[in-house]
Structure 1
Amino acid sequence: MKKSILALLTITFIFTYSCSKESSNPTAEPDVTAPTFNFSIAGFNNNSSAIPIVVSNQIEININAQDAGGISKVEAFIDDEKVGEDTSAPYSIIVDVSSLASKTGKTNTFKDYILKVVVTDKSGNSESKNTIINVDNEKPTITGVNLSAGAVINGDNNTVTFDVMDNQELTSVKAFLNNELLIDLPLDNLSININTNNLTDGENVLKIEALDSGENLGSFEVAFISDNTGPEITIESLVENQIIDSLITISPNVNDLYSEVDSLKVFLGDSIIFSLANQTDYSFDFDPNLFGTGANSIKIIATDSLDNMSELIIPIEIYRRLITLNFPSNFYDPQLARIYVFASDAEGNLLDSKRVMQDTDKITLRTIEEISPNSEFMLTIGEYSTGAFGNSSEFTTLQNLTPSTLGEINFKTYPRFDYSPTNPIKFPAQGFDSQDIISLNSEGFGYGGSFYSETEEFSIDRRRSTTSAVNSEFIYVPQVNLTLNEYSYYVADWDIPSDFVFTPQLFTNQNVEKRFYQPILSNGDTFESSSYWIAGYFSNDDFQNNIYHRIDGHGYGYQGLEGIPYYFNSIFTNYKYNVRINDYYTERTGELAPSFHTLDWSIDYSYSNNEIEVIKNGLDHTVGKVFINSDPYVVIGGLNISYRWSLVFDSQKTDNIKLPKIPEEIKTWGFYELYEQGNMEVQQVEIKRYENINSYDEYLYKVIKDNRHSYLVSPVMESKFKSTVPGYYQKAPHFLLD
């Protein structure tokens, strides 16, 4: 009983204590209320589970959640797999859906995914909401673009069409050129125009972007070439204001960076002269002789496969080429003050003039006058030297030239010799009979000697050639005893010892023979006089280079029964000689002929006002020559003025020779006053013929063109001449004329 009362008291205490505590601090009710919320997917307004939302790549879930006790976390699940959470407001979860399959394999329809958003409060209460989403990770496909990679286009009208395919609705299609927006296209008209005039030539990029409702962006890029420029034309063989006087090949380099060269047309002025299409080599020949002279222009128009056109205009001048003169490196004689070459028409009017300088290697004479390839002109070479006491002018004129017959002359260097002779000059000449008349006159290439019986000296002037290595190795000294009518000779080395003494014992007559030649006169002419000159050569090389030695030379005013005597020496390998009989002159190679028939020609002339009228008769002559000479000089203004002028002409068709008019640069030379007054002296006029040369043009080609010795071309030259000094032939040698 006592035990029961104790238990009862205990229960009563506990209850009483409990009631007492509750009444003073009431117990809170547990939080069992779930949060409230709604959510949306960025870019979509309708989250109704009945209508699936199509998303792509990633989605942004924005959650607006409330709870009295506070939100603990927000979570997102796709098909119950957690894909993200957020624990702080504002609540947003970004979910990557790019790895999710878009469609089911069999039906090729969108696969439904359940997107669940769960919001949990701090009491652990949670609330969830679901929506169905479809994932579209397929980008719009751009196909059928009619602009191919590397295509070359031009102009302002280039339509580009294409198709866009997508499994969703397209929201925009844009086109960009070089990353700059070109056009935002209407979805019902997928067509673009490219105006290449707004682009730089070269590579450009067209990009097309298509965006679908799933924010999938499809793009297509194509690089193309814009080409609004014609082919580039360059010419290395032609420069501005170039003078064209002969056939040239013009080789345009025609290149197009982006297109094929289609055609090329060449105009002279406004007239087309050349056209080619679809070629790789556009070279063409231009013959100025087909067109008029004067200023003009060559215009070249090139077109590419896109019809782009470019043109190059080069101003030119068309002249008529007369002749080209080629000079060797050592041609210029430093002893001369001036050398000029000039061309004149048949009336003597100046066509062109050029000065020859020390470094001149080529001169082309040309004219702007309208002449044909067969028009005649004359070429003159003028040389001027001057000193303290006067000056000298020498001219050589070739007449009856045409642009088509000669073309060019290749000059050779006329031999020039040391300014001072080799020492010693004088040698003792002892033992010669003082009672006899003795001649030791020697003459050869680079030397000349004389005997002075009064002083018993032999004087020899020796000079080496300065223009070539060709020189004589010997000095031929003939001794003619006019008292005894005997001939002997001595061959000395060029370098005669300084203590050398000439004596009669040195001379020999071995290989010497006295011979005769018979003058045979034509038409019963009376013999008046004859002269001869004989030279020998020790080798054929000497013969080719005219390294000669005079054997004998004399003149006679009578002839014996056997003819005209002379001495011949057979020690030489080659011979050259000349013979004059009255007004007949011949120059030949080999040994002297036994007889000479004079020519049945006649020659006379008159001279007035710088014109020479030639009166001639006869057949077979081809070349004429006029020699004008001051003989030896004329005093003008206290100065000794000398001049020489040789004019060569076609003797078959020319009777009147006009001296060419003088260029301004030459009018200061001393002779000009006499020229202007017409007071120059004609000393000789001749007509001649050459064996193996049948015309004047052939003479020009065989002798003059390469500046050859005429005796190397023709072994026989015969002339009929008239001289102011009867019985004397003026050879008047010159570097161009023997």
Structure 2
Amino acid sequence: MLSKKKHFKTIYYLLILILLQCCSSDDSNNLVEKDTTPPSINSFTINNVSGNNINTPILISTTLELDIDITDDLGVTTIEIFIDAIKVANNTTPPFNFSIDVSQYNSGNHSVRIKAYDAAGNFSSTKDIAIIIDNTLPAITNVSIRNESILAGNINILSFKVSDDKDISSVAISVDNVTIATITDKNYNVNIATSNLNDGRHNIEIIASDSNNKIAKLTISFIADNTGPKITIDAINEGETISEIIQFEPKLSDEFSEINSLEVLYRNERIHFFENGAITAFSFNPDDYTSGDGRFTFIAKDALDNVSELSINTKTTQVLIRLKIPQDYLSTNIMKSWVFASKSDGSPISIVKIESGMTDIVLYATEKIDDSENFMITFYEIENSGFNRISTIQNLTITSPGTLHLAPRNTFSEESETSYTMNGFSANDIVKSQGVDYKGIKANDRFKLTLMRPQKTNQIYFYTYDNNAPETSYRYQFLNRPIGNSFALNSTAFGDQNVVLNNFVLQSYFPEVDLQPILSIFGYTNQNDYSNNVYHELFNSALTSKNTDINSSISYPLHTTFETYKHRLVSKDYITERKGIPLTNYSKPNWDIDYDTSSGNTIKIVTSGTTHSVGRLWLKNEYSIEPYYDYSWTLVYDSQKNKSEVIIPKFPDELSDLNFYKFSLDLFWQTEQLELSRYQNISNYNDYVNKVLKNNVNYDKVSDFVESLYHVPDFRKYPVFLKDVFN
């Protein structure tokens, strides 16, 4: 006996079940009640004659055969057949095929109608279809090949029955009006071979004759299809070199049959297989295979097992780096230009000659390299004078940067040069004018001003100071453009309004012993100008302290009306460039950097420190040998990886006919400058490659300052603010 608790649970679950059934029933009823769309009679045949081709009454002997294709959104419930408006047959389940004996009907004209119903009681109907019943004719029925069938190959058995009230004397079967068989033994089986037929529509005709010379004809239209699907591949072309992941989107089409499968082979090994016509896009990564020749084979099969095949011969290789070349990269003073890749030991990998009009260059690997393996690229050009200018970027990988955008060579061109009169300036007065699109210098007693295009500034900044006391004698003049030809620079027009005297301390600077630090200050009228590097030079001069003690304060002038500033401080072994006005105190990084020796293609160095990320080496012959042997070579490298040596890449054999190639084989490379740098917001060398080098971005787009420690062999020379490509 059930407990009360169990009894309650039983009743509860029964109620839930009843409720669910009611809801389900209600939903179903609602769908039926809302259905107002009648079934759609898509197509039908009467004794193998398509409903679309009935133009005259259909001649029928003793059997009426119908094949009907019909659809409905909720399902077809009943199909009814009417002869002379009287229902003679019905069917409630597909397939909706009928074979109706009409031998009891009088010979003559009759009509047939098809009517279809759905669950909601909606119905559709054909018009009355005219037929002629002639019971004296032979009846051809139970035909195995239906109208509009698709046939393939050489084995397609056509079977049928022939009946008549008299004896059948002969049955002839023809294909496209060519007799292929005559049957007199009542074995009504004939093979329809299609391999010799053109793909497309054809007709089978069965002609039955009885002993009274009554003749019945039945025509069956069929499609011969002995051709596999058409395969279209747009992703690659014959003979193409594949160096990156490509996306295949195979397109298969078949005029007559459904697509069954697609098999994809590479180098005779299956890489993809698609069944049941479900063909999707797929990717191919050449890095998964060894470099070299390869063949893609696409094998498609249709529902009739017709097969087609498409082969595409290709070559796979690995991309080291892609280069985006600006249109003006080859300036008029360049005779020849190349770019080549080298392994980390300096041995060549590949080389491309840069020709006029090139915008994209790809350097390939000759053998597979790992993602972490380092290589270097070198830009080499010979100027018209014969001078050799070279730049190398080291410690790259196939993913970092992947693509390198080179900077335009000449962003500005000279528009005009005008010489102006100068009045009231002494021999010790320095007069300067420098901006992003203009520059001026004092030439004897006149001032020569050059304007550049495109114009970026609306004003021109002039400043002057006494060379013996630049910090206290600074004055300026800020003029709107354009400046007329009658303009003259008058000393009395220069003023010091909004100029203040500031101070900074450079740690370890020893006045009257060390080289005087050089301070440059740049002004920007607004933040947008700073973002686009539209600057005016406000000050540039060597400075010293009035006090001879080490770490003494150094004074400088500052024009305070500009919205944003940048400055650069250069000393004997230290450079820093920063956003904003000069700091009050500069401390050099606690790093060591020194040149050791040069042997072959190896420069031995001594470095220490963990906070620098970028190293630079500048090689340059101090004294000219001959124009074709003079060189300037800058190398950028990972300063944490290359702490004890920098490898100089060897020139590829493709350049062996050049004078400098032979000269470089035994050359003792002369070091002009060695540098270690760190940047704000750039944590390591790989960061620098991808944030700065990759897209040719000025470092100040991602960092507010850079500071560098230098080794310069000649202590009397200031270090140079090196560029990464072609200093």
With normalisation by structure 2, the TM-score equals: 0.76
- Structure-1 residue corresponding to 2:573: 583
Sort the Cα spacing of 1:470 and 1:312 in 2 relative to 1 into closer, same or farther, 3 A: farther
Say whether 1:566 aligns with 2:556: yes
Sort the Cα spacing of 1:651 and 1:585 in 2 relative to 1 into closer, same or farther, 3 A: same
Query: Mapping of 1:121-520 within 5 angstroms?
Result: 138-386=136-384, 390-418=385-413, 422-424=416-418, 426-433=419-426, 437-452=428-443, 455-460=444-449, 462-465=450-453, 469-483=454-468, 485-520=472-507
- The C-alpha deviation readout for 1:154-192, integer Å capped at 9, x for no partner, is 222221111011121111112111111111224231101
Alpha carbons 1:414, 1:735 under 8 Å: kept:
no
Matched letter for residue 198 of structure 2: T
**d(CA) in 1 for partners of 2:190, 2:105:** 38
The DSSP-based 3-state class of the residue aligned with 2:495 is coil
Alpha carbons 2:601, 2:650 under 8 Å: kept:
no
Say whether 1:686 aligns with 2:653: no
Per-residue deviation at 1:494? 4.6
Sort the Cα spacing of 1:433 and 1:201 in 2 relative to 1 into closer, same or farther, 3 A: closer
**d(CA) in 2 for partners of 1:643, 1:142:** 98
Alpha carbons 2:328, 2:410 under 8 Å: kept:
no
Per-residue deviation at 1:547? 2.8
CA RMSD of aligned residues (A): 2.8
- Structure-2 residue corresponding to 1:128: none
Alpha carbons 2:262, 2:279 under 8 Å: kept:
no
Query: Mapping of 1:584-603 within 5 angstroms?
Result: 584-603=574-593
The DSSP-based 3-state class of the residue aligned with 1:693 is coil
Matched letter for residue 416 of structure 2: T
**d(CA) in 2 for partners of 1:378, 1:334:** 27
- The C-alpha deviation readout for 1:260-281, integer Å capped at 9, x for no partner, is 1111111111111111112454
- The C-alpha deviation readout for 1:112-169, integer Å capped at 9, x for no partner, is xxxxxxxxxxxxxxxxxxxxxxxx9832221111001221222222211110111211
- Structure-1 residue corresponding to 2:605: 614
Say whether 1:649 aligns with 2:643: no
**d(CA) in 2 for partners of 1:276, 1:105:** 55
Per-residue deviation at 1:332? 4.7
Matched letter for residue 341 of structure 2: A
Matched letter for residue 457 of structure 1: R
- Structure-2 residue corresponding to 1:629: 620
Alpha carbons 2:598, 2:668 under 8 Å: kept:
no
Per-residue deviation at 1:554? 2.8
- Structure-1 residue corresponding to 2:517: 530
Matched letter for residue 658 of structure 1: I
Matched letter for residue 406 of structure 2: F
Matched letter for residue 580 of structure 1: V
Per-residue deviation at 1:668? 5.7
Matched letter for residue 712 of structure 1: K
**d(CA) in 2 for partners of 1:719, 1:198:** 83
- Structure-2 residue corresponding to 1:725: 714
The correspondence for 1:696, drawn from 670, 681, 685, is 685
Sort the Cα spacing of 1:601 and 1:105 in 2 relative to 1 into closer, same or farther, 3 A: closer
Per-residue deviation at 1:688? 1.2
- The C-alpha deviation readout for 1:615-658, integer Å capped at 9, x for no partner, is 21111111111112245x7242xx46543222111111124322
- Structure-2 residue corresponding to 1:715: 704
Alpha carbons 1:338, 1:384 under 8 Å: kept:
yes
Alpha carbons 2:417, 2:448 under 8 Å: kept:
no
- The C-alpha deviation readout for 1:476-534, integer Å capped at 9, x for no partner, is 22211135651111223453321222111110111222222112249xxx966533222
Alpha carbons 2:391, 2:724 under 8 Å: kept:
no
Alpha carbons 2:431, 2:441 under 8 Å: kept:
yes
Per-residue deviation at 1:400? 0.8
Alpha carbons 1:475, 1:494 under 8 Å: kept:
yes
Query: Mapping of 1:107-126 within 5 angstroms?
Result: none
Per-residue deviation at 1:204? 2.0
Identity, % of aligned positions: 28
Matched letter for residue 614 of structure 2: V
After superposing the two structures, state which structure 1 stretch, 566-575 or 505-514, moved more. Answer: 566-575
Per-residue deviation at 1:334? 4.1
Alpha carbons 1:243, 1:318 under 8 Å: kept:
yes
Q: For structure 2, which runs of at least 5 residues remain unmatched after alignment?
A: 1-102, 108-133
- The C-alpha deviation readout for 1:54-112, integer Å capped at 9, x for no partner, is xxxxxxxxxxxxxxxxxxxxxxxxxxxxxxxxxxxxxxxxxxxxxxxxxx99999xxxx
**d(CA) in 1 for partners of 2:663, 2:721:** 20
Sort the Cα spacing of 1:736 and 1:575 in 2 relative to 1 into closer, same or farther, 3 A: farther
Q: For structure 1, which runs of at least 5 residues remain unmatched after alignment?
A: 1-103, 109-135
Alpha carbons 1:608, 1:678 under 8 Å: kept:
no
The DSSP-based 3-state class of the residue aligned with 1:196 is coil
Sort the Cα spacing of 1:241 and 1:107 in 2 relative to 1 into closer, same or farther, 3 A: closer
Alpha carbons 1:211, 1:218 under 8 Å: kept:
yes
**d(CA) in 2 for partners of 1:276, 1:312:** 16
Alpha carbons 2:350, 2:366 under 8 Å: kept:
no
Corresponding pairs, count: 590
Alpha carbons 2:571, 2:718 under 8 Å: kept:
no
After superposing the two structures, state which structure 1 stretch, 228-237 or 650-659, moved more. Answer: 650-659
Per-residue deviation at 1:581? 3.7
Matched letter for residue 711 of structure 2: K
Per-residue deviation at 1:733? 4.7
**d(CA) in 2 for partners of 1:171, 1:447:** 110
Alpha carbons 1:264, 1:282 under 8 Å: kept:
no
Per-residue deviation at 1:596? 0.6
**d(CA) in 2 for partners of 1:173, 1:730:** 107
Per-residue deviation at 1:604? 1.8
Alpha carbons 1:392, 1:670 under 8 Å: kept:
no
**d(CA) in 1 for partners of 2:248, 2:695:** 30
